Structure 1
């Protein structure tokens, strides 16, 4: 076991210095990414408005103009700051995760490092899948739902149009992206907990009905008060919960196979070696 942990024990001050260096790299990377994203905040905001444009096209209102407003002088500026922070966090996440791993890795055994690395790679990929689902499908569907409430006017009726504020639209799409991105981490969290022995596939399966209720409650809290986004978040959450159960079963099968292989090896080592034939007299 002496070769499993490569680094020798270090005093507390050495760990604090290492933590400071890792934090400096992470914060520095975030600040650089924030500045870059803030410089291109308007272009990034136009990219985020694209789902609204798609929803207007799907609504079939040919005369509908794409308009967003801000009602306070500083509102759009702070919206650009939020875009810079949001984009900076996304761009800097690989660096932040790498610094976190480098700080924790010396205290892990080699087999623990090899088991941890796939999850470090899978986590941002799953987050981006959730964000892509929001951008290309759910945000247009949500905006289409809200656009359906418009009133064109005429025949004694007032014209009622949706004119989103830039800050509220950004808050909506950021909330959806973070909600779906976090939910898409469910298989990673479930697999890690199964590896640690905190949950079992049988226990997760038994709690399925509670998980379904919890999924709809979480969707009601994390998403706007409309049925499209709430159902749209709850259904993938339930599906990902089922994937988590499968991942837990896979971990359990691997653990059982490893134990069986170790038992066979111990039995072969303990068995006496006898010659097949007796020596000639």
Structure 2
């Protein structure tokens, strides 16, 4: 670490109580933002509208008059509430991440701040892309594949609670899997690996991607391929972004 970087944060230390107060303020801002998003979604489209939106992929492969069922006594109340809160978290995600970043930003150097903001932006964008990919591409093809193996004597009327849990699991899995470029860039940025090592690891990553997809997705070929193939493509995107935006460290600095 050079002297100018040491001087940049010199004298900026704060008492422990000040850090606690700052943490409390940031958490309150997170809660306020989440509450505002919840109130907004409760007004429009409402919990019923969100349920209809989530249920559209599977209802497209059910009889016209068929509906999802609620087995639990309290499911008609708690499931729409759960979906409403889940949607509010997704809507407030950039605000939540920004508040977390604003709490740790005073302890970062200027070059780290410049690097962190694009990562936060693209990380949120990739998370939204993964969720949209599930909703508008994966679910329709996954349910079409499943319905093709359903006997004609069986009426597929899923429980709304199990359906929402399955959808939520896919949302989380794909939003995390779509962070592959961010992880690749960070690994190179902190010096744990080099671009050449990532290129050499490409064939192994393909195997890892298919193993991960087989573990965290439902037991159907469509959803597994829908997760593994984008992960491989995003890995290549991460390598390309690293070549373009991450400057290699001087050899003297690496030796030091």
Note whether the superposition's TM-score is higher than 0.5: yes
Query: Does residue 46 in structure 1 map to residue 52 in structure 2?
Result: yes
Tell me which residue corresponds to 1:117. 117
CA gap 1:6/1:130 in 2 versus in 1, 3 angstroms: farther
User: How many residues are treated as equivalent by the alignment?
Assistant: 245
Tell me which residue corresponds to 1:75. 75
CA gap 1:221/1:11 in 2 versus in 1, 3 angstroms: same
Structure 1 stretches of at least 4 aligned residues deviating more than 3 Å after TM superposition:
2-7, 34-39, 53-56, 63-66
How far 1:135 sits from its partner (Å)? 1.0
CA gap 1:7/1:110 in 2 versus in 1, 3 angstroms: farther
Tell me which residue corresponds to 2:37. 33
Tell me which residue corresponds to 1:150. 150
CA contact (8 A) 1:38 1:83 kept: no
Larger radius of gyration: 1
How far 1:142 sits from its partner (Å)? 0.8
Query: Does residue 255 in structure 1 map to residue 243 in structure 2?
Result: no
Distance across 1 between alignment mates of 2:117 and 2:80 = 34
Q: What residue ranges of structure 1 are gaps of 5+ in the alignment? A: 57-62, 153-158, 261-281
How far 1:112 sits from its partner (Å)? 1.4
How far 1:228 sits from its partner (Å)? 0.9
Q: What residue ranges of structure 2 are gaps of 5+ in the alignment? A: 252-256
Relative to the length of structure 1, the TM-score reads: 0.80
Tell me which residue corresponds to 2:22. 18
Relative to the length of structure 2, the TM-score reads: 0.87
How far 1:141 sits from its partner (Å)? 0.6
Deviation per CA, 1:227-275: give whole Å up to 9, x if none.
11111111111111122222233345x236xx59xxxxxxxxxxxxxxx
Distance across 1 between alignment mates of 2:125 and 2:245 = 21
Identify which of 160, 169, 173 aligns with 1:166: 160
